[in-house]
């Protein structure tokens, strides 16, 4: 087969992979737009994508401001949660007893809607502070990162540990050369879960009162005022923010995997 | 059998010990922390230690026994229990709906590769997108929906949001499981000239169970989150979410009360999780020990 | 009576694409009823592909495959053969007995009939006390015996086996070979058996078919004159070693030719 032929085939295969998803997306939004117009649906019932886009572009500076508030809360909480989570996981891997103590708690907390703690966090700080939301995000991220990275540090191949011991390597050396490299993929996987979770928690925290500058509160207030198209525009911003956080975490994971076998 | 009981007892003991540790840290901070809150590395993160900002743990528990509102007959315990029970039923409804849709979608995607290639990327992306942002919208829709004699009950919006959050992890996990049958097993079923549906029920679903178990766990907690957020963002009466908001508003005069509702929400989450875990253990009873998560 | 008839069959994978593979070229083979025929050859010689053509898990690109006097597709629909693979492939969520009952369920047998036949098969493979165990509680050799019991549960006239003992240790392997012969003698089943192992092929078969490297062709057939009654002593007989040597020469000749040619061919 000629080289041209081969690259054409490759292109066609790649296209075939992307086409169904793109087609589905186009069909979905196309149908949505058409349904609103054809059935003459009122905005309070269903807003057309075109109207949403209009509002998004029209209110862009306001939307960007709100997104910055929510995004900052999410980012600060995310970073804090990662730092604390990683630090604590080192402690847990060193002291097995603590691990046994903390892990069941973390697993149980996974099932619980802990974002309701914002209600009390708001009482612990001043009414206009963004701290409660950041603490909430940090807490959620902390547990995700903790559980995953602790696993990565402790669940190493026994063969690798035996090998290091045969080299009379110290515990610190084993940590550096075996446990940490083993834990890195776990860290990045937990990041892919934690980043969207941070954004979601940042929004949900805004439903509990306090300052109303973020995306979450904007969405509810616009709904309450029956300004649905504007609300949807904020929803779009929220989706984009979440995607952004996720995309960054995927890119970071990509950097980590550069050295791995394909 | 006894070793199983011993292990479970040990884990519960550890859990209780961990809780005790948290309580100890709380009270210790109250005793020695800065009264007006403080800064850590220049950021004002340390909370105030007054009884208003941080009630004593025993105050939180004693609050359960006293009446909800002055002059009312109902104790806080009864109120929180009623609220948690209401939200639990909504969460279960949401979980069931989400499971049906999620599994059906997974089967559809397993059967038709085209559907899978078209829809799966959106499913994956949707897990990163804050669908929670849609909560107020879903609830307002439901409020205005009337199809013939059927009037949309307000609680259904909360369940639908729960279902909405639950069906994504369930669909993704089930799809993974349906694809997990070994090539040998598939060839075996082909050698029996078994139809796709027969292979689905006799091979693919049983193989998928270990993958569906963690997916259902995620779905259960997602359903709870969806329901509670729906309740909070719309003030749905009767549920634990609304209770938390109400009690939080009364915190100036009654700081311990809001904690009672928070514990109620925690109990709600744990009950859902516990039920799913129990069903999981039953469903996996004849399988070898290894888990797939 | 001819159990399997393969006539001038070829199989090409991914025809016309850059990753095209000619797995089999113009293969013809007749297997008589009651025979035990082994297919042996280097990796990639197409023996597993040939087996799957008989099983109608693949369609030939050219030629025809007749099983039990029917086209292979019909034979599969009629369930005229049982198949065993290198992994036992037992369903871990079913008990041993329920695993054996699987083909019978698919044929629509009722519960009582299935149980009777399953118990009969368990006795045949000498594992009756494990009916209610689960596969993961059994050793590799025992799992394969259950797989064989399953393959024969519907009493098919033909048994197709793709290196079923490949994952077992040597001693278990020799034991299983003896068991297989005993079972096949008791049921009178025709067997087509794919293997990598020369002693195994010779011990089990009345005929060993040697296949060439890709594209697979039948290059030599070795008649094994060890008679029907085989046991541990058979492995010490001169005829055994002679047959092994014949097969080895057949393989080696091909191998040398292939290696010699290797650098010229693509």
Asked if the C-beta of B132 comes within 8 angstroms of chain C's C-beta atoms, the answer is no
Asked if the C-beta of A1 comes within 8 angstroms of chain C's C-beta atoms, the answer is yes
Please indicate, yes or no, if residue B261 is contained in any of the structural domains: yes
The residues in B 260-289 lying below 8 A from C, measured between CB atoms, are 286-288
Angle made by CA atoms B232, A61, A53, in degrees to the nearest 5: 75
Size of interface A-B (CB pairs under 8 A): 162
The tokens for A40 are: 């003459």
Number of domains in chain C: 1
Give the model confidence (pLDDT) of A141-172 as tens digits.
999 999 889 888 888 888 888 888 888 888 88
Q: Rounded to an integer, what is the distance from CA B80 to the centroid of its chain?
A: 18
Closest-approach residue (CA) in chain A for B122: A21
pLDDT of residue A167: 84
Closest-approach residue (CA) in chain C for B193: C77
Percent of chain C clearing pLDDT 90 (strictly above): 68
Length of chain A: 262
ipTM above 0.85, yes or no: no
Give the model confidence (pLDDT) of C42-98 as tens digits.
888 899 999 999 999 999 999 999 999 999 999 999 989 999 998 898 998 999 999
Q: Which of B187, B192, B288 sits opposite C103 (nearest CB)?
A: B192
CATH of the domain at C16: 3.40.50.300
Q: Taking the domains of chain A in order of start, what are their residue ranges?
A: 1-40, 49-259
Q: Where are the alpha helices (DSSP H) in chain C?
A: 47-54, 72-77, 96-106, 111-124, 140-152, 170-187, 198-204, 238-262
B273/A131 Cβ within 8 A: no
Higher pLDDT, A19 or C100: C100
Give the model confidence (pLDDT) of C112-147 as tens digits.
999 999 999 999 999 999 999 999 999 999 999 999
Size of interface A-C (CB pairs under 8 A): 5
Asked if the C-beta of B33 comes within 8 angstroms of chain A's C-beta atoms, the answer is no
pLDDT of residue B235: 74
Asked if the C-beta of C167 comes within 8 angstroms of chain B's C-beta atoms, the answer is no
What separation in angstroms does the CA of C158 have from each of B190, B232, C152?
16, 67, 9
Give the model confidence (pLDDT) of C138-172 as tens digits.
999 999 999 999 999 999 999 999 999 998 999 99
Closest-approach residue (CA) in chain B for A192: B128
pLDDT of residue C255: 58
Three-class secondary structure of residue C27 per DSSP: strand
pLDDT of residue A1: 56
What separation in angstroms does the CA of C176 have from each of A167, A189, B193, C144, C232?
44, 46, 28, 9, 12
Q: Which of A117, A120, A235 sits opposite B133 (nearest CB)?
A: A235
- Strands C70-71 and C62-67 turn out to be antiparallel
Tokens 């989450």 found at: B269
d(CA A143, CA A255): 24
Hey, of C15, C18, C266, which one would you mutate to test binding to chain A, going by the most A CBs within 10 A of its CB? C18
The tokens for A137 are: 């995000």
The tokens for C260 are: 């010699």
User: Which among A39-48, C10-19, C136-145 has the top mean pLDDT?
Assistant: C136-145
Chain C residues in contact with B190 (beta carbon < 8 A): 57
Hey, of B186, B188, B201, which one would you mutate to test binding to chain C, going by the most C CBs within 10 A of its CB? B188
Rounded to the nearest angstrom, the minimum Cα separation between B193 and chain A is 30
The tokens for B239 are: 């549920």
pLDDT classification of B153: cutoffs 50, 70, 90 = confident
Q: Do B187 and B245 have their domain in common?
A: yes
Rounded to the nearest angstrom, the minimum Cα separation between A7 and chain C is 11
**pLDDT above 80: residue B147:** no
Give the model confidence (pLDDT) of B90-140 as tens digits.
999 999 999 999 999 999 999 998 888 888 888 877 777 777 777 777 777
pLDDT, chain C, mean: 90
Asked if the C-beta of B166 comes within 8 angstroms of chain A's C-beta atoms, the answer is no
pLDDT of residue C264: 45
Q: Which of A45, A108, A203 sits opposite B132 (nearest CB)?
A: A203
**pLDDT above 50: residue C12:** yes
Chain A residues in contact with C18 (beta carbon < 8 A): 1, 5-6, 9
Asked if the C-beta of A144 comes within 8 angstroms of chain B's C-beta atoms, the answer is no
Q: Do B30 and B68 have their domain in common?
A: no
**pLDDT above 50: residue C262:** no
d(CA A254, CA C156): 53
Q: Are A246 and A196 in contact (CB under 8 A)?
A: yes
Three-class secondary structure of residue C227 per DSSP: coil
- Residue-number span of the structural domain to which C192 is assigned: 2-80+156-261
d(CA B131, CA B137): 10
DSSP C125-174: TT-GGGTTS-GGGS-HHHHHHHHHHHHHTT--SEEEEESTTTTS-HHHHH
Classify residue A233 as exposed, middle or buried by CB count within 10 Å of its CB (0-12, 13-18, 19+): buried
Q: What is the DSSP letter of B67?
A: B
Asked if the C-beta of A6 comes within 8 angstroms of chain C's C-beta atoms, the answer is yes
Hey, of A74, A101, A113, which one would you mutate to test binding to chain B, going by the most B CBs within 10 A of its CB? A113
The tokens for B178 are: 């349906």
Q: Which of C85, C93, C103 sits opposite B187 (nearest CB)?
A: C85
**pLDDT above 70: residue A260:** no
Q: Which of A25, A124, A195 sits opposite B54 (nearest CB)?
A: A124
Q: Which residue among B9, B30, B54 closes a domain?
A: B54
Q: Are A108 and B15 in contact (CB under 8 A)?
A: yes
Q: Are A153 and A90 in contact (CB under 8 A)?
A: yes
Please indicate, yes or no, if residue B293 is contained in any of the structural domains: no
Give the model confidence (pLDDT) of B245-261 as tens digits.
888 888 777 888 888 88
Closest-approach residue (CA) in chain C for A5: C18
Chain C residues in contact with A6 (beta carbon < 8 A): 18
Higher pLDDT, B54 or C42: C42
Q: Do B206 and B193 have their domain in common?
A: yes
Q: Which chains touch C (3 or more CB pairs under 8 A)?
A: A, B
Q: Are B249 and A122 in contact (CB under 8 A)?
A: no
Q: Provide the Cα torsion C204, C208, C209, C214; round to 10°.
A: 70
Length of chain C: 266
What separation in angstroms does the CA of A176 have from each of A90, A179, A180, A252, C90?
11, 6, 6, 21, 43
C57/B191 Cβ within 8 A: yes
* Cβ partners under 8 Å of residue A9, min gap 6: A1, C17, C18
**pLDDT above 80: residue C108:** yes
Q: Do B1 and B66 have their domain in common?
A: no
The mean pLDDT of A220-234, rounded to a whole number, is 84
- Residue-number span of the structural domain to which B3 is assigned: 1-54
d(CA C66, CA C30): 10
d(CA C246, CA C202): 10
**pLDDT above 50: residue A262:** no
Chain B residues in contact with A120 (beta carbon < 8 A): 248, 251, 258-259, 262
d(CA C59, CA B59): 77
pLDDT of residue C263: 45
Please indicate, yes or no, if residue B289 is contained in any of the structural domains: no
Other CB atoms within 10 Å distance of the CB of residue B190 = 16
The tokens for B242 are: 């609304």
What separation in angstroms does the CA of A106 have from each of A139, A143, A214, B10, B275?
11, 6, 29, 16, 18
C103/B187 Cβ within 8 A: no
Tokens 């992307």 found at: A18
**pLDDT above 80: residue B152:** no
Q: Are B99 and B159 in contact (CB under 8 A)?
A: no
Q: Are A136 and A120 in contact (CB under 8 A)?
A: no
Tokens 């499913």 found at: B123
pLDDT of residue B128: 72
Rounded to the nearest angstrom, the minimum Cα separation between B171 and chain A is 17
Chain C residues in contact with B188 (beta carbon < 8 A): 83, 85, 89
Closest-approach residue (CA) in chain A for B232: A207
The residues in B 249-288 lying below 8 A from A, measured between CB atoms, are 249, 251, 255, 258-259, 261-262, 265-266, 268-270, 272-273
Rounded to the nearest angstrom, the minimum Cα separation between A165 and chain C is 32
Three-class secondary structure of residue C65 per DSSP: strand
DSSP B238-261: TSHHHHHHHHHHGGGT-TTHHHHH
Q: Do B39 and B78 have their domain in common?
A: no
Please indicate, yes or no, if residue C31 is contained in any of the structural domains: yes
Three-class secondary structure of residue C245 per DSSP: helix
pLDDT of residue C37: 96
The mean pLDDT of B59-81, rounded to a whole number, is 79
- Strands B38-40 and B150-151 turn out to be unpaired
Asked if the C-beta of B160 comes within 8 angstroms of chain A's C-beta atoms, the answer is no
Closest-approach residue (CA) in chain B for A225: B140
The mean pLDDT of B217-221, rounded to a whole number, is 92
User: Which among A32-46, B156-170, B190-204 has the top mean pLDDT?
Assistant: B190-204
**pLDDT above 90: residue A9:** no
Q: Do B149 and B167 have their domain in common?
A: yes
Please indicate, yes or no, if residue C136 is contained in any of the structural domains: no
Number of domains in chain B: 2
pLDDT of residue B293: 43
Bridge partners, residue C207, by sequence: C37, C223
Asked if the C-beta of A216 comes within 8 angstroms of chain B's C-beta atoms, the answer is yes
**pLDDT above 90: residue A217:** no
**pLDDT above 80: residue C261:** no
The tokens for A100 are: 């046994």
Three-class secondary structure of residue B220 per DSSP: helix
Q: Do B271 and B185 have their domain in common?
A: yes
Q: Are B68 and B74 in contact (CB under 8 A)?
A: yes
Q: Of C165, C143, C134, C160, nearest to C88 (Cα)?
A: C143
Q: Are C252 and C40 in contact (CB under 8 A)?
A: no
Q: Which of A20, A135, A204 sits opposite B117 (nearest CB)?
A: A20
Rounded to the nearest angstrom, the minimum Cα separation between C24 and chain A is 22
The mean pLDDT of A97-121, rounded to a whole number, is 85
Q: What is the DSSP letter of C45?
A: S
Asked if the C-beta of B197 comes within 8 angstroms of chain C's C-beta atoms, the answer is no
| Torsion over CA: A204, A206, A76, B265 (sign) | negative
Tokens 């992890």 found at: B169
pLDDT classification of A258: cutoffs 50, 70, 90 = low
Asked if the C-beta of C166 comes within 8 angstroms of chain B's C-beta atoms, the answer is no
Chain B residues in contact with A200 (beta carbon < 8 A): 130, 132
Asked if the C-beta of B221 comes within 8 angstroms of chain A's C-beta atoms, the answer is yes
Closest-approach residue (CA) in chain C for B205: C93
Give the model confidence (pLDDT) of C227-238 as tens digits.
888 888 888 899
d(CA C214, CA C137): 40
Q: Do B90 and B16 have their domain in common?
A: no
Angle between helices A215-224 and A180-205 in degrees, nearest 10: 30
Domain A49-259, what fold? MetI-like fold (1.10.3720)
**pLDDT above 80: residue C254:** no
Q: Which chains touch B (3 or more CB pairs under 8 A)?
A: A, C
Asked if the C-beta of B128 comes within 8 angstroms of chain A's C-beta atoms, the answer is yes
Least confident of A35-39, A222-226, B276-280: A222-226
Q: Which of A20, A102, A105 sits opposite B118 (nearest CB)?
A: A20
Q: Are C49 and C11 in contact (CB under 8 A)?
A: yes
Q: Are B288 and B267 in contact (CB under 8 A)?
A: no
The residues in A 175-194 lying below 8 A from B, measured between CB atoms, are none
Angle between helices A228-256 and A49-58 in degrees, nearest 10: 80
Q: What is the DSSP letter of C232?
A: G
Asked if the C-beta of C127 comes within 8 angstroms of chain B's C-beta atoms, the answer is no
pLDDT of residue B201: 95
Q: Do B35 and B108 have their domain in common?
A: no
The tokens for C219 are: 């290059």
Q: Of B244, B250, B137, B180, nearest to A119 (Cα)?
A: B244
pLDDT of residue C67: 94
d(CA C200, CA C218): 19
């Amino acid at each position: 087969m000629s080289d041209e032929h081969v690259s054409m085939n490759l292109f066609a295969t790649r296209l075939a992979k992307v086409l169904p998803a793109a087609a589905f997306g186009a069909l979905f939004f196309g149908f949505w737009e058409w349904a609103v117009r054809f059935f003459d649906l009122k905005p309070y019932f269903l807003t057309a994508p075109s109207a949403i886009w209009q509002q998004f572009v029209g209110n862009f500076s306001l939307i960007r401001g709100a997104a910055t508030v929510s995004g900052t809360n999410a980012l600060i909480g995310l970073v804090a949660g990662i730092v604390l989570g990683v630090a604590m996981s080192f402690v847990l891997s060193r002291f097995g007893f603590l691990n046994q103590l903390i892990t069941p708690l973390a697993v149980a907390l996974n099932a619980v809607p802990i974002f309701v703690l914002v209600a009390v966090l708001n009482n612990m700080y001043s009414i206009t502070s963004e701290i409660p939301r950041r603490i909430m995000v940090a807490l959620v991220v902390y547990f995700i990162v903790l559980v995953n990275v602790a696993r990565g540090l402790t669940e190493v191949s026994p063969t690798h540990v035996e090998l290091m011991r045969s080299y009379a390597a110290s515990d610190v050396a084993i940590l550096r050369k075996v446990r940490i490299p083993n834990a890195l993929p776990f860290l990045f996987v937990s990041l892919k879960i934690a980043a969207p979770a941070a954004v979601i928690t940042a929004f949900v925290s805004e439903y509990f009162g306090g300052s109303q500058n973020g995306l979450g509160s904007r969405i509810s207030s616009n709904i309450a005022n029956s300004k649905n198209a504007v609300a949807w525009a904020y929803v779009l911003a929220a989706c984009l923010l979440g995607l952004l956080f996720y995309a960054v975490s995927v890119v970071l994971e990509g950097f980590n995997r550069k050295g791995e076998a394909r | 059998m006894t070793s199983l009981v011993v292990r479970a007892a040990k884990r519960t003991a550890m859990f209780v010990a961990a809780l005790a540790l948290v309580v100890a840290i709380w009270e210790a901070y109250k005793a020695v922390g800065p009264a007006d809150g403080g800064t850590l590395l220049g950021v004002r993160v340390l909370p105030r230690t007054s009884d208003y900002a941080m009630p004593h743990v025993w105050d939180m528990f004693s609050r359960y026994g006293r009446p909800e509102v002055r002059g009312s007959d109902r104790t806080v315990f009864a109120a929180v229990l009623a609220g948690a029970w209401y939200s639990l039923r909504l969460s279960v409804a949401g979980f069931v709906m989400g499971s049906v849709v999620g599994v059906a979608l997974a089967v559809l995607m397993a059967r038709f590769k085209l559907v899978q290639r078209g829809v799966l990327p959106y499913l994956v992306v949707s897990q990163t997108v804050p669908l929670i942002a849609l909560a107020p919208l879903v609830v307002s829709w439901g409020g205005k929906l009337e199809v013939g004699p059927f009037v949309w009950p307000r609680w259904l919006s909360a369940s639908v949001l729960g279902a909405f959050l639950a069906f994504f992890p369930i669909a993704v996990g089930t799809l993974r499981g349906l694809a997990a049958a070994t090539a040998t097993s598939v060839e075996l079923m082909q050698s029996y000239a078994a139809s796709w549906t027969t292979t689905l029920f006799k091979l693919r679903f049983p193989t998928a169970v270990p993958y569906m178990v963690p997916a259902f766990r995620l779905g259960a907690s997602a359903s709870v989150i969806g329901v509670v957020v729906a309740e909070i963002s719309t003030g749905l009466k009767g549920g634990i979410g609304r209770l938390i908001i109400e009690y939080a508003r009364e915190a100036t005069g009654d700081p311990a009360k809001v904690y009672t509702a928070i514990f109620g929400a925690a109990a709600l989450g744990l009950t859902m999780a516990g039920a799913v875990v129990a069903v999981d253990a039953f469903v996996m009873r004849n399988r070898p020990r290894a888990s797939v998560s | 009576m001819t159990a399997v008839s393969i006539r001038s069959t070829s199989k090409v994978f991914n025809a016309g694409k850059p990753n095209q593979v000619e797995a089999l070229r113009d293969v013809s083979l007749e297997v008589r009823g009651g025979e035990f025929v082994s297919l042996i050859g280097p990796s990639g010689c197409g023996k597993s592909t040939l087996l799957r053509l008989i099983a109608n898990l693949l369609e030939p690109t050219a030629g025809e495959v007749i099983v039990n006097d029917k086209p292979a597709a019909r034979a599969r629909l009629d369930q005229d053969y049982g198949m065993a693979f290198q992994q036992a492939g037992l369903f871990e969520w079913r008990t041993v007995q329920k695993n054996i009952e699987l083909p019978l369920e698919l044929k629509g047998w009722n519960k009582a009939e299935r149980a009777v036949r399953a118990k009969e098969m368990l006795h045949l493979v000498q594992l009756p006390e494990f009916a209610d165990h689960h596969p993961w509680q059994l050793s590799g050799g025992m799992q394969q015996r259950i797989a064989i019991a399953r393959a024969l549960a519907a009493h098919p006239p033909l048994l197709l086996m793709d290196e079923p003992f490949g994952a077992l240790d040597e001693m278990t392997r020799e034991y299983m070979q003896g068991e297989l012969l005993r079972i096949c003698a008791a049921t009178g089943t025709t067997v087509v058996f794919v293997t990598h192992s020369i002693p195994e092929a010779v011990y089990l078969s009345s005929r060993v078919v040697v296949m060439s490297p890709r594209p697979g062709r039948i290059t030599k057939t070795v008649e094994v004159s060890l008679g029907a009654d085989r046991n541990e002593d058979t492995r010490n007989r001169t005829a055994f070693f002679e047959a092994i040597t014949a097969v080895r020469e057949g393989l080696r000749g091909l191998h040398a030719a292939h290696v010699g040619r290797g650098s010229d061919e693509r």
